[in-house]
């Protein structure tokens, strides 16, 4: 998801969904600590993947009591006073305030200054800037596919230094490290995350009607039938997102692929080791169609099945507040779309969300999500130090505390859930930290852009409005790049 998603999630926020996917999106970052940083400080460059370096004397700020948590990892970079780190991201005002506030500890302790630049045209402009020789020092990349493209086509992304690698190995799962790895080399540690496997609902509506939270897919369908019998549409949905229209439907498909077939088959599908029109994919999409293309179930508050294509994803779940629909499948970042004053809580709340039930108990607890990754484009001590800071548990907790209205989630195992403001964000962190959870990144964000941000959006939109499962999946398969 993509710009739309990411921005939404960023309202987190809600940032950009293909970046959400625009959803795109999931989420990005990478930085380098070279073994020859002393040379870099003197104007030389030593390439990525090395150890730390020194910028000169010891940073005086590290003596402060509040700097104790990062003192050991920042000492090697020396005094960074007067140094600047240029950060480029899709997170813009006012969602950028918590980001900037989370950097204050780093600036105070090292003496460096972080120059923040947010842009709504981030994805397109980042590629242009990198190729034209004007890259930022650090960029937050929402799609592993975009990271791969930048690494392979520009050669400008710097491998992560040992200090970052150590942090990622300590605080994140192997899957998250894999998403920042290209051709066997690790470039970008995770920054933030979102959880997509949620169904939004009204706790009050459920309580008033005696409805209970389903724990299996079959229970969810039975509940849908019960709700439909009352005259209320059990589901509302919207996949409209401008040029990115269709991305929310890809999330539905990915969630079901993961639930039906497990992580191994999901990985094969994303890597095109099985075709997009494989029978397993067709069965998953038909399962989605059992809800989204069922006229008895949708589209509460908007119209018939076809109205899903013209309803924006931002509006998709709002009829829950009016009692016009009961459920809406969307990511954790969707909380930002409810009007100010909406109470998001499990007990007595206007809205809350439950985990999207499993279809196959043998597949454990599948979780679909996305996130940003930190990529570095300049080999310098201050850049390496900042990337190192962002990969620590300290930054994750600082960011949580700097986001009092909610909208921040991280897969960092060192994040204290009490430092995450909103109830739904806390649920997301618990899911990400659950050792039984089987996490997989947003599939369309990992696929080639021509598919994940192109034919898949287009054909799933056509599918909603009447195209058959066979035709939609065959057209997506035919669009897959030959190499």
**pLDDT at residue 307 is higher than 80:** yes
Does 206 share its domain with 155? no
- Specify the pLDDT at position 56: 55
| Mean local confidence (pLDDT), 20-39 | 34
pLDDT at residue number 480: 97
pLDDT at residue 415, rounded to an integer: 98
435 in a structural domain: yes
How crowded is residue 460: how many other Cβ atoms within 10 Å of its Cβ? 27
Instruction: Taking residues 334-342, report their average pLDDT.
Output: 89
Residues 6+ apart with CB under 8 A from 267: 273, 440
The angle subtended at Cα 312 by Cα 306 and Cα 318, nearest 5°, is 100
210 and 346 part of one domain = yes
Q: Residue 406's pLDDT is what?
A: 83
Whether 249 shows a pLDDT value over 60: the answer reads yes
Question: DSSP code of 48?
Answer: S
Lowest-confidence pick of 46-60, 187-201, 291-305, 403-417: 46-60
pLDDT above 70 for 209:
yes
**What pLDDT score was predicted for residue 45?**
33
Reduced to 3 states (helix: H, G, I; strand: E, B; else coil), residue 62 is helix
Question: How far is 8 from 91, CA to CA, in rounded Å?
Answer: 9
Query: What are the residues facing 87 on neighbouring strands?
Result: 116, 138
Identify the domain containing residue 435 by its residue range.
2-194+369-441
Is 174 in the same domain as 204? no
What is the CATH classification number for the domain harbouring 345?
A: 3.40.190.10
Q: Is the pLDDT of residue 261 over 50?
A: yes
Higher pLDDT, 336 or 257: 257
Residue 464 lies in a domain: no
Looking at the fold, whether 413 and 330 belong to one and the same domain comes out as no
Per the CB < 8 A criterion, the answer to whether 329 and 199 are in contact is yes
In the structure, what pLDDT confidence band is assigned to residue 331 with cuts at 50, 70 and 90? very high
Both 332 and 217 in a single domain? yes
Same domain, 322 and 378: no
Q: Are residues 252 and 172 in the same domain?
A: no
- What's the pLDDT band for 35 if we cut at 50, 70, 90? very low
Is residue 474, in this structure, part of any structural domain at all?
no
Tell me what the mean pLDDT of segment 260-280 comes to.
97
Tokens for 43, please give them. 């104007």
**Mean of all residue pLDDT scores within the chain:** 88
Rounded CA-CA distance 25/369 in Å is 9
Q: SS3 breakdown of the chain: % helix, strand, coil, rounded to 5? A: 45, 15, 40
For position 213, what pLDDT does the model report? 98
Smallest CA-to-CA distance from 38 within 379, 311, 358, 370 is with 379
Q: What is the pLDDT of residues 178-197, one digit of tens each?
A: 999 999 999 999 999 999 99
Residue 469 lies in a domain: no
Report the C-alpha dihedral over residues 42, 43, 48, 53, rounded to 10 degrees. Answer: 10
Q: What pLDDT digit, counting tens, does each position of 38-72 carry?
A: 333 333 333 344 344 444 578 889 999 999 999 99
| Helix or strand holding residue 186 (H, E) | strand 185-186
Low-confidence winner among 27-31, 71-75, 130-134, 384-388 (lowest mean pLDDT):
27-31
- Whether 474 has a pLDDT exceeding 90, the answer reads yes
Query: Last residue of a domain, which of 351, 367, 383?
Result: 367
Task: Give the lowest-confidence range in 33-37, 239-243, 345-349.
Answer: 33-37
Residue 167 lies in a domain: yes
Based on the domain organization, do 312 and 398 belong to the same domain?
no
Residues 347 and 436 in one domain: no
Does the pLDDT of residue 19 top 50, yes or no? no
Residue 22, pLDDT score? 40
Asked, for residue 306, whether it belongs to a domain, the answer is yes
Are residues 312 and 404 both part of a single domain? no
Residues 20 and 163 in one domain: yes
In a domain, 458, yes or no: no
In a domain, 275, yes or no: yes
pLDDT at 3 over 60: no
Query: Which tens digit of pLDDT belongs to each residue from 124-152?
Result: 899 999 999 999 999 999 889 889 989 99
Cα-flanking dihedrals φ and ψ of residue 382, to 5°? Answer: -70, -35
| Total number of domains in the chain | 2
Query: pLDDT-based confidence at 364, cuts 50/70/90?
Result: confident
107-129 pLDDT per residue, tens: 999 999 999 999 988 988 999 99
Same structural domain, 346 and 399: no
Amino acid 44: pLDDT: 33
Distance of CA 215 to the CA centre of its chain: 24
Q: What local confidence, expressed as pLDDT, does residue 21 receive?
A: 47
Residue 404: the pLDDT is 87
């Amino acid at each position: 998801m993509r710009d739309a998603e990411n921005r939404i999630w960023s309202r987190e926020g809600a940032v950009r969904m293909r970046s959400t996917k625009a959803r795109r999106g999931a989420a990005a970052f990478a930085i380098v600590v070279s073994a020859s940083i002393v040379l870099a400080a003197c104007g030389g460059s030593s390439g990525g993947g090395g150890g730390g370096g020194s910028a000169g004397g010891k940073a005086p700020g590290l003596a402060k009591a509040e700097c104790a948590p990062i003192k050991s990892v920042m000492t090697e970079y020396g005094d960074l006073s007067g140094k600047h780190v240029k950060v480029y991201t899709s997170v813009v005002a006012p969602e950028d305030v918590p980001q900037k506030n989370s950097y204050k500890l780093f600036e105070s302790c090292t003496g460096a200054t972080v120059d923040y630049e947010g842009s709504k045209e981030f994805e397109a402009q980042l590629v242009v800037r990198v190729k034209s020789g004007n890259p930022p020092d650090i960029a937050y990349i929402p799609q592993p596919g975009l990271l791969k493209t930048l690494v392979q086509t520009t050669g400008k992304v710097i491998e992560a230094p040992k200090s970052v690698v150590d942090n990622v190995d300590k605080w994140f799962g192997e899957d998250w490290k894999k998403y920042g790895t290209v051709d066997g080399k690790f470039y970008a540690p995770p920054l933030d995350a979102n959880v997509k496997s949620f169904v939004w609902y009204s706790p009050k509506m459920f309580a008033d009607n005696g409805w209970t939270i389903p724990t299996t897919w079959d229970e969810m369908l039975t509940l849908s039938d019960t709700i439909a019998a009352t005259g209320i549409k059990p589901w509302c949905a919207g996949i409209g997102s401008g040029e990115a229209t269709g991305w929310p439907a890809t999330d539905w498909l990915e969630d079901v692929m993961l639930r039906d077939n497990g992580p191994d088959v999901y990985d094969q599908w994303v890597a095109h080791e099985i075709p997009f029109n494989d029978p397993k994919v067709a069965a998953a999409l038909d399962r989605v169609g059992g809800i989204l293309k069922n006229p008895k179930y949708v589209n509460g508050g908007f119209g018939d099945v076809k109205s899903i294509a013209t309803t924006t994803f931002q509006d998709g779940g709002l009829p829950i507040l009016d009692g016009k629909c009961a459920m809406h499948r969307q990511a954790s970042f969707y909380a930002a779309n409810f009007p100010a004053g909406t109470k998001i809580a499990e007990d007595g709340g206007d809205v809350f969300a439950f985990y999207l039930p499993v279809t196959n108990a043998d597949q454990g607890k599948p979780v679909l999500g996305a996130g940003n990754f930190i990529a570095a484009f300049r080999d310098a001590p201050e850049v390496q130090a900042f990337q190192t800071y962002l990969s620590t548990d300290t930054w994750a907790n600082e960011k949580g505390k700097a986001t009092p209205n909610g909208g921040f989630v991280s897969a960092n195992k060192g994040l204290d859930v009490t430092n995450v403001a909103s109830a739904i964000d806390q649920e997301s962190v618990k899911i990400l930290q659950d050792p039984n959870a089987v996490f997989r990144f947003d599939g369309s964000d990992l696929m080639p852009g021509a598919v994940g941000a192109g034919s898949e959006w287009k054909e799933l939109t056509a599918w909603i409005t009447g195209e058959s499962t066979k035709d939609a999946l065959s057209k997506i398969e035919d669009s897959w790049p030959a190499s």
